[in-house]
Chains A and B, each alone.
Chain A
């Protein structure tokens, strides 16, 4: 069965600074990987996804993530954070042929002025 770990419960960065949110997954084959964002009082919205091919994936809102098989990681990055990026970020992993997507516990991002 697949699993996903987000080691950081919360992270605080200054506006304009770079951001990296960590995600580690466990799955026997090549996983389907996702990053979602949840703004307060809202549902989850997909930022980006990785299925195969180029290991550096571009998403919406200036986010990107890099798949590293050797480290079982799929970290999310943004070069310059905006105050509107403050939200909860979820990494998720899905299985080939499966219906279930497993979500990490989430990382809450705080942005300070």
Chain B
């Protein structure tokens, strides 16, 4: 049973398109995250939800919109995709406050914008 699962694993799309990445966790955690990993492997937090409430919203273009329909799901929708959006996007979850607890990561979604 996969603890944190993301779909799709690979996503190739053209500039200007809109796409979504889905994430689900079956660990019963109350906090979920989206991270972006660039080509140099640098990992940066984008958003975090705690009990469906947005608690971290880093400096991210408003083309990126997270949605958490319930505690187990956190989706990421991206409008008007740009070349610079190409990266690996990781979903993660933790129990409680993320700065103090272990995060469980999904396998990542490799987004390529052409």
Contacts and interface: CB of A to CB of B under 8 A. Distances in A.
Interface string A33-58: 01010100111111001010000000
Contacts of B107: 41-43
Interface of B: 4, 31, 40-45, 48, 50, 55-56, 90, 92, 97-108
B99 A43 contact: no
Nearest to B50: A99
Interface in A35-93: 36, 38, 41-46, 49, 51, 88, 90
Nearest to A99: B98
A98 B105 contact: no
A110 interface: no
Given A88-B41, A105-B42, A98 B97 contact: yes
Contacts of B40: 105
Contact of B102 (A49, A88, A100, A108): A49
